[in-house]
Structure 1
Amino acid sequence: MKNLKNLKIGVIFSLLFFLSQNLFAGNFILSDDNLIDPRAKSKINEIGSEVKSKLGTNVYIYAKESLGLNEDTSRKEKFDIIKNLEKEIIPALEKPYILLSMSVEDMYVNLLFSDNLEEVVDKDDILNGYVIPLLASKDKNTLLAKVSASMLNGYSAIVDSLSENKEIKIESNAEIGNQGKVSSTIWRVFMYTLIVTSLILYTYAVLRKKK
């Protein structure tokens, strides 16, 4: 436990130093462990700059491959440590802000808000509709492709909600936003179809047994 606490303290100081450098540079991707494609990074920062300029809101991404937590740590303890790490990140963010955070190996994604922005952006809709489906997809795409797509898709969806709320168009997000909605809709239709088909097959099997 002592080693875990020392690890946590070391990670926190490293995070704060890294964040201060990136915030000064105007980078909206605080960390990505090289999991986000350079082209996606460039687009995210382009969108983020326009959002800050037009809407006055800072939308950040903090993505990690792993937080280096001990494998023997319980799920509850991992969750508590991650939440505490997020609390340490928040003071370095420029308000108002939205932070999309994730850790691949820890199977963790979250959205954090300031200034009642949770009333503007639907957390569950963003994570369940735009981020998690792409991360969890069982296909041949690489981890780089999945993280890049999920972070860009989620970021774009957040910006869509902000721009619609203030009725101000974000030009750099226009094309991405439409594509994100299409991919999310396709995913949901696929999942609903899968569930309905499974129910039909199950019902058919039960009825056949009764005969």
Structure 2
Amino acid sequence: MNKYPVLICLAACLIAGCTLEDEYQEKIIVPNKSTPVETVDPAVREFSDLAHRCITGDTKALGPLKKKYWDSIRDPKSPQHLLFQTEKLNSEYERCVLKAMADNDMEFVEHANVDSPIASALLARGYYAREDYVSGAYWMKRLIALQGRMQGYELAGNIFLHNESTYEIGIKLLGEAALLGSRTATSELLMIAGGNEEDEEETETHEPKKVPQ
């Protein structure tokens, strides 16, 4: 990884300011009216039907619904991985949890919702990694609601750095945190830049010298 994008990101954010939402807004494509309606995944339909049953009174449906929801998060190899955490389905799921609480049916309520900042950041990373920027932004907003902007960007930045496909976004997130005053994020960006510089110098040292013709 070249050091210059890191330094450029840090400098640009500190001098002029930047937002992750602006950076990726152009990648969020809104289908036009001529776009054919996509076929609904049967698993999504089943999940949504369970949620509807729960919301309309059958709160025992939260049991199988909760299992589907968390299985899709925990198993990255599952074909249903992150299938039920889009904004629409997550909203339906949380409405079911609220209905169970309102009816005092607490059997499956405990640990039902994603309420951890780290879990929110991991979900955001998962969606950004598959280029679902709408769902990724949804979980970023939830993370920021829990942590605040500076700490939220800092946490997400560190988590995004651990996935090759979201590494550059992680740099931008740390840049956002640095812009908002995070000394930790600033130090991390400088350390990354310094580490990349050392790697480049080592590579240059081991490159064979050209023999004059």
The higher radius of gyration belongs to 2
State the TM-score, normalizing by the size of structure 2.
0.32
TM-score where L is the length of structure 1: 0.32
Q: Which has the higher contact order (CA 8 A, sep 6+)?
A: 2
